[in-house]
Chain A
Amino acid sequence: MSAASTPRSSTAPVAQAGEASRVRARSRRRPMPPLLRNTLLWLSVASIVVFCLFPIYWIVNTSLKTGPQLSSGALWPSEPSLRNYRSVLDDGDFLLALRNSAIVAGSTTFLSILVGSFAGYALARLRFPRKTLLLGIVLSISTFPVIAIAAPLFKLWTDLGIYDAPYGLGLIIPNLVFSLPLTIFILTSFFREIPRELEEAALVDGATRMQTFTKVVFPLAAPGLVTAALLVFFFAWNEFLFAITLTSTPEARTVPAAIAFFTGSVRFEAPIGTISAASVIVMVPLVVLVLVFQKRIVAGLTAGAVKG
């Protein structure tokens, strides 16, 4: 199995020990002077860090500039100020967007895990005909261009009266459907990793199939559930096309849509300062999640990418 497998994290120290011995073996042979090798390595590590983080530094830098500093292009703010943050947080529309995003992303995640774990379990464990076809249909949804769904949904949602529904409620179902393939895919792989014997033991002890699922499989699949939940949350927090097609007022807009339509809160000043502050604010929760759950996230992203 791939990096998605549950026991993987526990084997990481072993892998590192293996690498250490490999490096020892390599330096015995001296294919490249160790000093040169290390310098090259650290140079490449440093350039990766700069490549990935410099734009983030730039947006933080811009968010701390005000007035004429904003049009200087300077690499650091000459008089750093938190005024942009204050005006963003005083902006009622931005707070509404944060609220809507929390509701949409939270509900999408919960429902996707609930519905997706049922399907994942069936696909991983139960025997029924035409399973390949079913899985193919589910996965093919994730190749659909969202615009091809958004156009008719715009019309349908208008007819049903849930276009521009408050709290972004009209966005939950479309987000759910587009997150399901990913959830089902990850959970199917995780459910497969759970030893069948445990379930069989429960069945022999008289548990029903449903009890086996809720009491044995579900708790054991917790790492997989966390992984899938994180990826779905990121997806729903990031989703943009449905958000701008199916909403039109601040009451319903989520963060990405609000940021894209942000006109700035300080009059007669380039809006880029306040937009940058808003961007930093919405980035913080995700960066924290990434730092805390990096192993789980990588496991989910690479699930299925490698034949183990």
Chain B
Amino acid sequence: MSTITPSSTAAGPGPGDRPPPPRRRGRRAPSYGRSERRLAALLLSPSLVLIGLVAAYPIGYAIWLSLNEYSVRVPGLSRFAGLDNYEAAFAGGFWDALRNTLVFTVASVSLELIIGLAMAIAMHHAFRGRGLLRATVLVPWATITAVTAITWRSIFEPGVGFAPQLLAKVGIAEDVVWLGERGYAMSVLILADVWKTAPFMALLLLAGLQVIPEDVYEAARVDGATPWQRFTRITLPLLMPAILVALIFRTLDALRVFDLPAVLTDGSNGTNVLSLLAYQELTQNRLLGLGAALSVLTFAVVMIVSFLYIRFVGGNIRTLAKD
């Protein structure tokens, strides 16, 4: 699913920023009425209990599992193993998977930004076909990721797909089994991800373009700015908040990518990413401890990157929570 990050911003100061109206039955409590707090606790508790039990607790449990050697094949056989699993992860596929994940993330997110921005600008100007365009770009977004992977696999599969023949005709990658070679397999993976999510990026950026006031452009035009100057001096800076939010969404999603490589290549030929490697150790090799260690490491990578982003963009969450 698309990520909602702590730094995504919602409404600026809303109606809630007015001084609180005098409370009926007002206890002279200056800030929080006790009944209001009790109601808030009641309303929030189902969400918090669920999140605590099914997200926070499992993370803690994953850390514990990662410190144990645990065999699914031989039930009951488990022992504390300290950092052995992490050593095994570092000695095994971790670095390779980390590199693949970072290559995938940087390449797909930057292509999505460029293509998404171009799409957003075209949609912004094509006001007549906008309804059609909006429906069209939602189609890749609405396509199940597993289906996306199958589609692109069938496009590039030798014999079945049209792409290898077509590309060979114009002299690109003749005699290449696209999904069977390092580099080529990764580029199909990136292409499939760009197809699926560039439209999402375009919609986010289109929303950003629509709130840029027209008179700014008008003034620039009167002053004789060229279209390119208007783009670099007005559009880009004013669009920056939307671009940053879209980048955060997409980066955190790309770092956790799983469905696409799992179905497209099953991680073969240089497309094994962190989540998929952890999954394989966990279910195919039945190494619960090593799988847990790898998923904790994936978690750590995502947390480090989101921390950097929050430091970078920062503070926007307060806007939403402020009341």
Chain A interface (Cβ within 8 Å of chain B)?
Answer: 1-4, 15-16, 18-20, 22-23, 25, 29, 31-32, 41-42, 44-45, 48-49, 51-53, 55-56, 58-59, 62, 70-75, 115-116, 118-119, 121-129, 131-132, 134-156, 173-174, 176-182, 184-185, 188-189, 192-193, 195-196, 200, 203-204, 209-210, 231, 234-235, 237-241, 244-245, 255-257, 259-260, 270, 272, 275-276, 279, 282-283, 286-287, 289-291, 294-295, 297-298, 301-308
Contacts and interface: CB of A to CB of B under 8 A. Distances in A.
A180 B51 contact: yes
B275 interface: yes
Interface in B289-315: 291-292, 295-296, 298-299, 302-303, 306
A151 B276 CA distance: 12
B2 A240 contact: no
B199 interface: yes
B82 interface: no
A1 B274 CA distance: 37
Interface residues of B, number: 127
Interface stretch (B88-96, B102-110, B170-178, B206-214): B206-214
Interface string B6-29: 101111101110001100100000
B62 A173 contact: no
B152 interface: yes
B118 to A, nearest CB: 7
Given A142-B4, A260-B146, A298-B138, A147 B256 contact: yes
Given A272-B154, A298-B203, A240 B8 contact: no
A116 to B, nearest CB: 7
Interface in B192-225: 195, 199-200, 203-204, 206-208, 210-211, 214, 218, 221
25 contacts: A31-B227, A41-B125, A75-B162, A123-B321, A124-B16, A126-B40, A136-B321, A142-B4, A143-B5, A143-B302, A146-B256, A146-B275, A149-B62, A150-B279, A152-B59, A156-B61, A178-B1, A181-B4, A185-B4, A188-B320, A196-B15, A234-B142, A256-B259, A294-B135, A301-B200
Contact of B43 (A20, A119, A256): A119
A203 B241 CA distance: 38
B58 A307 contact: no
A192 B15 contact: yes
Nearest to A298: B203
Contact of A182 (B2, B9, B144, B195): B2
Contacts of B190: none
Contacts of A131: 321, 323
Nearest to B288: A155
A7 B103 CA distance: 42
Contacts of B132: 49
Nearest to A58: B155
A305 B262 contact: no
Please name the 8 residue pairs, one residue from A and one from B, whose CB atoms are nearest each other, closest first: A302-B207, A132-B321, A152-B58, A44-B122, A118-B43, A122-B43, A235-B1, A152-B61
B54 A238 contact: no
Given A15-B210, A58-B162, A180-B51, A185 B118 contact: no
Contact of A305 (B12, B62, B137, B207): B207
Interface of B: 1-6, 8-12, 14-16, 20-21, 24, 31-33, 35-37, 39-44, 46-48, 50-51, 54-55, 58-59, 61-62, 65, 118-119, 122-123, 125-127, 129, 131-148, 150-152, 154-155, 157, 159-162, 164-165, 195, 199-200, 203-204, 206-208, 210-211, 214, 218, 221, 227, 241-242, 245-246, 252, 255-256, 258-259, 262-263, 274-275, 278-279, 282-283, 288, 291-292, 295-296, 298-299, 302-303, 306, 317-323
Contacts of B36: 126-128, 209
A55 B133 contact: no
Contacts of A260: 146, 262-263
A21 B302 CA distance: 46
B207 A241 contact: no
A151 B282 contact: yes
Contacts of A301: 2, 141, 200, 203-204
A145 B12 CA distance: 29
Output the residue of A150, A179, A306 with the most chain B CB within 10 A. Answer: A306
Contacts of B317: 132, 135-136, 139
Given A127-B31, A306-B242, A176 B147 contact: no
B147 A73 contact: no
Contacts of B137: 48, 52
B51 A177 contact: yes
